[in-house]
Chains A and B, each alone.
Chain A
Amino acid sequence: NAGVMQNPRHLVRRRGQEARLRCSPMKGHSHVYWYRQLPEEGLKFMVYLQKENIIDESGMPKERFSAEFPKEGPSILRIQQVVRGDSAAYFCASSPEGQVLRKQYFGPGTRLTVT
């Protein structure tokens, strides 16, 4: 059973471009969480999604950021018009149900660099 997959592992974008980060949850997992880790910071919750639904987006910046988890395919975190401050490691985690009593399995992360 493959773990949580994220791609790309490294992404370089110029200011103003769009960044698309993909997360494929573990087989059988229908819940995905996105976290951002800024330099010298811990992981900060961004958004929690179930298939085709956003459950909690309280950690998402109000502008330029969006997330989806379609019925088929990976979850996508999209950042429009990137700025230098978006440079960070973005991690996703998946779980088989909404309660964190089932532990979240983390992916390897995507390191975004904005030049």
Chain B
Amino acid sequence: AQSVSQHNHHVILSEAASLELGCNYSYGGTVNLFWYVQYPGQHLQLLLKYFSGDPLVKGIKGFEAEFIKSKFSFNLRKPSVQWSDTAEYFCAVNARRDDKIIFGKGTRLHILP
């Protein structure tokens, strides 16, 4: 069965700091990978996704993620965070053989102004 592990439950950063949120998954087959974001009081939104091709994926709002197959990782990065990035971030995986998305437990990111 697939599973997703997010390393940090809470992260606090100051504005302009660099961000890296860890995500590891367990599944031996081919996967699609996602990062979702939920801003306070808002819907879950897709930040970026990896299906195939270039393992460095660029998403909205300056976020990017790198798929490292050998490490089963898909870490999210942003070089300089803003106060408006305060949100909860979910890593997710989908095994290509089915239509379920398995989510990690989420990381709450709090940016200090």
Contact = CB atoms under 8 A, between A and B. Distances in A.
A90 interface: no
A54 interface: no
Which interface class (under 10, 10 to 19, 20 to 34, 35 or more) fits B? 20 to 34
Interface stretch (A15-23, A73-81, A97-105): A97-105
A43 B32 CA distance: 17
B103 interface: yes
Nearest to A95: B99
Interface string B39-50: 000111110010
A19 to B, nearest CB: 21
Interface size class of A (residues with CB under 8 A): 20 to 34
B100 to A, nearest CB: 5
Given A56-B99, A100-B32, A106-B44, A42 B49 contact: no
B27 interface: no
Contacts of B4: 42
B100 A103 contact: no
Interface in A78-115: 91, 93, 98-101, 103-104, 106-109
6 nearest A-B residue pairs (beta carbon): A42-B103, A106-B44, A42-B105, A43-B103, A45-B100, A100-B94
Interface of A: 3-4, 31, 33, 35, 40-45, 48, 55-56, 58-59, 91, 93, 98-101, 103-104, 106-109
